[in-house]
Structure 1
Amino acid sequence: MTSSAPRRTVLAAALAAAAGAATPSAQAADAARTSEASAPAATPQAAARRSKSLVDYHSWTTTTDWHKGRAQGTGITHGARPGIHIVHPVGTLDYKDPHTGRTTTWDYAVWTSPAHSLKVPATEVIASWNAHTPPATWIAVELRGTYSDGGHTPWYVMGRWTAGDGASDIRRTSVDDQKDGRSSVSTDTFAIDAPAGGLRLTSYQLRLTLHRKPGTPLTPTVWRVGAMGSDLPDRFEVPASRPGQVGRELVVPRYSQEIHKGQYPEYDNGGEAWCSPTSSQMIIEYWGRKPTQQQLSWVNPDYADPQVCHAARHTFDYQYEGCGNWPFNAAYAATYRDLQGIVTRLTSLTDLEHLIHAGLPVITSQSFLKTELDGAGYGTAGHLMTVIGFTKNGDIVANDPASPDNAAVRRIYKRRQFENIWLRTKRYDAKGQVKSGSGGVCYLYFPAKPAPTQHRVLAELGIH
C-alpha cells in the first residue's frame, strides 16, 4: 500500500541531524465553471501570506523565460506551449546505461537557467519538469546551488527522464551517491545534510541536457522546468487550522492499487506499492485524458483498470526501484495532451481548500501509524492519496488507493488527523524512532490553460 518512501534515507538523516542539533472532462469542466462563479478573488491578505511562506516554487515556461537562459544548441519552440528543443547538437556523449549495460552514443544540446534567488534560503529543493520525449530521445535535469556562505554545490543530477522504455530508450533513473560533504541528493530531493548548523541554499540554477540518436531529426521538447525550495521547521505537530472553503467534493475516478497486487512485480513488486501512479492516473482521468487502447495493448486483458498498470510502468525509476519518484509522476502526467504537472509543498489546509474550491484535486504524500488516521486501517512509511474535497464540517474527502477495491476508495478522514500527518516534518515510527514526514509535499496536475479562477489560485501559490 505504500510507495518505496523508506529508501529516502538522506532525507531521514538530515532531519535526524537537525533534531540532534486542453479540453477537460465533463466533471472537470463543470468544476471550472462552478469555481469561476464562486471562488473569491486573490486578496492582499493572501499575497502577504505567500510573501511569508517558507516554500518557494519557481519555473521557466514562457518564451521570455527560455530567452533568459543560456542556450547551447537549443532553440525555442513557439506556440501555445513554448519550450526548448535541439536545433543543432553541440557534442556527443557515450552513455552506459547502468540498468541495461548498453553503451550508446547520443547527440546533445544544453539549456541552462539563470540563477534563481530563493525567497527564503532552503534546506531542501525538489525539481520537476514537463517534456515530450519521442523514442530514442531523453533529457537530464541537473541542479547547482549557492550556499549561504558563498560556496557552490556540484551539478547534481535530479533525474534522467524519458517517457518510454523501448529497445532504443535509456531507462529513466535517479542517481545515487551524489554528495559533497555538505549536501546530498536522495532519489529526487536535494537536502542540506546538517540544517541545524545554519547552512542553507540561497539560489540555484537548473540545467537541461537534451539527447537524441545521431542522425535523427527527432528531439525532446521541454515545456516546463522548475523547482520547489523550502525551509520548514522541524515539528512533530502542526498548528490546527479552522475550516474555511469547505463543503465541496470533486468527481474524480476511483482506482484501487490493491486489486493489482501481484501484477507486474518487476515494477516495484506489483500493485500493492502503486499508490503514486494510481493516484496520478485518477487525476489524469479527472482532466479527461487516458492511454489509448494501443498504448494499453501490452497489459494482460484479464486485468482490470489496465491504465493503472500503464502508469506504474511509465513512472518506474530503475534506480529507486519504485514508482514513487515524485518528479517522475509529474512528468508522466504531463505526457498527456495539454496537461502540466509539478511537485511542490503546501503549508496549510487553507491552501488545499482553495485548490479544491477552484476545481483542482491534489495528490498528497504522508506517513503515519495505524492509530494516527482513523478509518485508514493501516500504517505506512510513505503513501500517496488524492484529496478530492472537504465535508461541510471541514473533514477531508480522499480517494485512497490503499483500498480493497474501487468502490471502497472514497474515504473521509478527520481534518485534524490528516492535517498533522501530512504537514509535519518529523514523526515517530512503531518502534519509537524519529523518522521524517513529507512536510506537505504534493503533486499538482492542471491544464496548460487553466480556467481564470484556477490560474489565480495557482498564482497565489507562486505557480505560473
Structure 2
Amino acid sequence: MTRPTSRRTVLTAALAAASGGAVAAAVPATAAAAGPAGPAAPTAAAPLVDNRFWNTYTDWRCGSGSGTRVVAGRRPGLVISAPAGRSDYTDPHTGTTSSWEYATWTSPVHRSKVPATEVIASWNADAPAGTWVQIELLGTYSDGTDTPWYVMGRWAAGDGDIRRTSVDDQSDGKSSIWTDTFSVDDAASGLRLLSYRLRLTLHRTPGTALTPTVWRVGAMASDVPDRFTVPATAPGLARELAVPRYSQNVHVGEYPEYDNGGEAWCSPTSSQMIVEYWGRRPTADDLAWVRPDIVDPQVCHAARYTYDHQYEGCGNWPFNAAYAATYKDMSAVVTRLGSLTDLEKLVGAGVPVITSQSFLKEELTGAGYGTSGHLMTVIGFTAEGDVIANDPASPSNEAVRRVYRRREWENIWLRTKRYDATGKVRGGTGGVCYLYFPAAPTAAQSRVLKSLGIL
C-alpha cells in the first residue's frame, strides 16, 4: 500500500473539491452517483479518454526539432544530433549545479477528442549515465488562453547524475500540476483543455557523444464524470496469466530512504511483476548494490529506480512506466480504461494490467485492509467473472494471488469519488492503469491496443 498520507492523496482530495466534491457525508452514494452536472460534463455517448503517443518515424519527423535527429529502424527514436545550447541545472535534491548540453523536440499540436480536465504524460527512453530528459506540456484552454510550459517530469534512468523528480508549485490560477498529473483547478466551471503540445529536452554531459534515446512520448487526456458508482459489466472472459508473485511486505524496513521501505512499494513491486512476466529482469551487475541477504532484490531495484525525489515516493505513475520501458524492447504507457470489459480484452490478448484504486476495508471483500491509494496487477478472471489480482500488499509471495469480487473491484477502480472512514468525500482514480507490452506486440495484442488508442 502507499503511505496513508501522500501527495497522491492530496491530489485526489483536490480533485474532489475542484469538481464539486463537498458532498455531505449523509448523502447516500447512490443518490450522488452522477455527481454535479457541470456545463461541460460529457454525455453518456461521449468519449472520456483520449490517448496520443508519438513513436513512429513519421511521428518524430512531424515534430519540430532543435539539435535532435530521428533514428530510423525497427524502433525509431529521437537522439541528440548537435547540441542546441548549454544550460546549468541546480539539482534541488543535492544542491549540485552542473552544466549540460541540450537539444529539444516539440510535438505538433494535438487536439484532444476529449476536452480534458486531466492530462498525464508518459514516455519510453534509454538514458545512459551522463544523460537525462525533461518532459513538458503546453496546452490551450477552452477560453482561448494557453497554459505555461509545465514540467511533467525530469527523468533519468539512474540516479548518479540528477535525482529523478517531479516539480511542485506549478500553477497559472486555472490549472495545476499535481506530481505527475495536469489538472484543471475548477472542473465545475466548464473550463477544459482542448489541445496540447509536448516538448522533450534531451541533456548530456558537455563535450561527449552521449545521448538519450526517446522511443515514445505522449499523453492521456480525460474528462471522467463525477461518480461514486459505475455501471456493472457482464463477465466475458475466463483466463489467468502466469505472472510472477512478489510481496511488498516482505521488504518492510528495507532501504527506508526509498519511501520508508517495502510498506509503500506497491507500485514498483507491481511493475517488477509485469517486467518479469515479459521475460525481462535486472542483471546481476544491476543488483550488485542490494545487500546479499535480501530476498527478491529486484523489487528493491525497482523501488530505487522509480523513486521520485520530490514526491518522496515510488508511486509516480509515469516514472513506473518509464522504468519498465528501460528493459529491452519494452513499451509502457499510463492511461485510463473505461470498464472491466476493456481490461478483459487486454488479459485475453495476454497483457496483464496494473490498476490504481483506493477503498475502505469493507469495500473489497478479502483484502483485509483499506487504503488511500494502492496498485495491484490484474492477471485474469474466474469463470464467474471475478478479478484475479496479484496484490503486493500480502504477507508473503505465496499469498499474493487473490480473487476479488467483480462488482466491488470495478467500482473501487473506476469511480472518481468515494467516502473515507470519517465520511468525507475523497477522490478516486477513475480507471488509471499502467500498460506494459512488447515494442513488437503480437497481432492480437496490437488489435486490442489499437482499439484502446494506445497504438
Q: TM-score, normalised by structure 2?
A: 0.94
Residues 4 and 273 in structure 1, CA contact (< 8 A), matched pair in contact too:
no
Aligned partners of 1:20, 1:371: CA distance in 2, in Å?
Answer: 22
Q: Matches of 1:380 and 1:302 in 2, distance apart?
A: 30
Which residue identity is paired with 2:216?
Answer: R
The answer on 1:113 being equivalent to 2:114 is no
1:292 aligned to 274, 283, 294, which one?
283
1:91 aligns with 2:85: yes
User: What are the Cα deviations for residues 404-452 of structure 1, in whole angstroms up to 9, with x where unaligned?
Assistant: 0000000000000000000000111111111110100000000000000
1:277-326 C-alpha deviation (Å, 9 max, x unpaired): 00000000000000001110110111100000000000000000000000
Does residue 1:127 correspond to 2:121, yes or no?
yes
Match of 1:434 among 398, 418, 425: 425
Distance (Å, rounded) in 1 between the aligned partners of 2:227 and 2:393: 26
Contact 2:21 2:425 in 1 (8 A): no
**Aligned equivalents of 2:6 and 2:231: distance in 1?**
26
1:67 correspondence with 2:61 = yes
Asked if residue 147 in structure 1 is aligned to residue 148 in structure 2, the reply is no
- Identify the residue that residue 27 of structure 2 maps to in structure 1: none
Query: Which of 354, 367, 379 is residue 370 of structure 2 equivalent to?
Result: 379
Between the aligned partners of 2:297 and 2:159, the Cα distance in structure 1 is 17
Instruction: Tell me, yes or no, if structure 1 residue 181 matches structure 2 residue 182.
Output: no
CA contact (8 A) 2:89 2:97 kept: yes
- The residue aligned with 2:401 is 410
In structure 2, relative to structure 1, the CA distance for the partners of 1:5 and 1:190 (3 Å cut) is: farther
Residue 203 of structure 1: aligned partner: 195
**Match of 1:178, SS?**
coil
Paired residues, number: 434
Q: Which amino acid aligns with 1:405?
A: S
Aligned partner of 1:17 in structure 2 is 18
The one-letter code matched in structure 1 to 2:162 is I
Unaligned stretches of 5+ residues in structure 2: 23-43
Q: Counterpart amino acid of 1:113?
A: S
**Matched residue SS, 1:179:** coil
Greater share of residues in helix? 1
Q: Is 2:346 aligned against 1:352?
A: no
- One-letter amino acid matched to 1:133: A
Deviation digits for residues 381-417 of structure 1, max 9, x if unmatched? 0000000000001000000000000000000000000
**TM-aligned CA deviation for residue 12 of structure 1:** 2.2
Structure 1 gap ranges (5+)? 22-49
Q: RMSD of the alignment, in Å?
A: 1.4
Q: Is the alpha carbon distance of 1:193 and 1:291 closer, same or farther for their aligned partners in structure 2, counting shifts above 3 Å?
A: same
One-letter code of the match for 2:136?
E
Letter in 2 for 1:14: L
Q: Could you tell me which residue of structure 2 aligns to residue 6 of structure 1? A: 6
Change (3 A) 1:4 1:214: farther
Q: Which residue of 1 aligns with 2:158?
A: 164
1:7 positional shift? 1.2
Taking a change above 3 Å as real, the CA distance of residues 191 and 148 of structure 1, as seen in their structure-2 partners, is: same
Q: What whole-Å deviation, never above 9, does each CA across 1:216-256 have from its counterpart, x for those lacking one?
A: 10001100000000000001111111111x21000000000
Residue 3 of structure 1, CA deviation: 5.3
- Structure-2 change in CA distance of 1:4 and 1:314 (3 Å): farther
In structure 1, what is the Cα distance between the partners aligned to 2:47 and 2:240? 27
C-alpha distance in structure 1 between counterparts of 2:442 and 2:163, whole Å = 36
Q: In structure 2, the residue corresponding to 1:204 is in which secondary structure?
A: strand
When normalised by structure 1's length, the TM-score is 0.92
Q: Give per-residue Cα distances to partners, 1:108-150, cap 9 Å, x unaligned.
A: 0000000100001000000000000010100000001000011
Aligned-partner residue type, residue 402 of structure 2: R
Alpha-carbon contact 1:3-1:323 (below 8 Å) kept: no
| Counterpart amino acid of residue 7 in structure 2 | R
Matched residues in 2 for 1:90 and 1:302: separation?
47
**Percent sequence identity over aligned pairs:** 70
Task: State how far apart, in whole Å, the 2-side matches of 1:17 and 1:177 are.
Answer: 17
C-alpha distance in 1, partners of 2:4/2:157? 20
The question of 1:212 aligning with 2:213 is answered no
Q: Is the 8 A contact 1:10 1:184 kept in 2?
A: no
Does the 8 A contact of 1:4 with 1:324 survive in 2? Answer: no
